[in-house]
Amino acid sequence: MGSFQCINSVDRALLNEGLLDEASAVPNIKLFFNHKVQAVDFDQRVMTIRDVKADKDVRVNFDFCIGADGSYSVVRRQLMRIVRLVLIFCIKHSAQVYLVFLHP
C-alpha cells in the first residue's frame, strides 16, 4: 500500500471565537481590540502598542509574552533578534485542533 499523509486544519473563525470566549471568561484577563504591537523590548519587558482609534502609542510592561499575533508577527520578529532558537510546542487540543506556542 502507498503512504498517506494527513493535513490537520481548523477553521480560524471558530478557533478565534473559542479562544475569545475562554479568555473573556477569566476575570483577570483584559481584551483590547483596535490595538497593534509596534515593538517589544524583551530586556526591559516593555511592549509599545498603537491604540489605532486614539492614534497614540502606549507603553505596557509585561512579565510573560506569547507571540500569537500572526504570520507577520512583530513579537516573533523582535524575539528573533535576541534568540536564535525558538522552541515550538504543539499541543493536541482535540482530534482537529492544534495550538502552537512560541517560547524563548
Give dist(CA 62, CA 65) in Å, integer.
Answer: 7
Region 76-88 average pLDDT:
67
87 pLDDT more than 90: no
Q: Which domain holds residue 50?
A: 32-103
Q: Is 99 a member of any domain?
A: yes
Q: Does the residue 44 lie in any domain?
A: yes
pLDDT at 81 over 90: no
> Across all residues in the chain, what is the average pLDDT?
77
5 occurs within a structural domain: no
User: 11-60: per-residue pLDDT in tens?
Assistant: 888 888 998 899 899 988 888 889 888 988 888 989 999 999 999 999 99
Model confidence at 83, pLDDT cuts 50, 70, 90, reads low
Residue 97, in any domain of the structure: yes
**25 lies in some domain:** no
The total number of structural domains that make up the chain: 1
Do residues 59 and 21 touch, judged by C-beta distance below 8 A? no
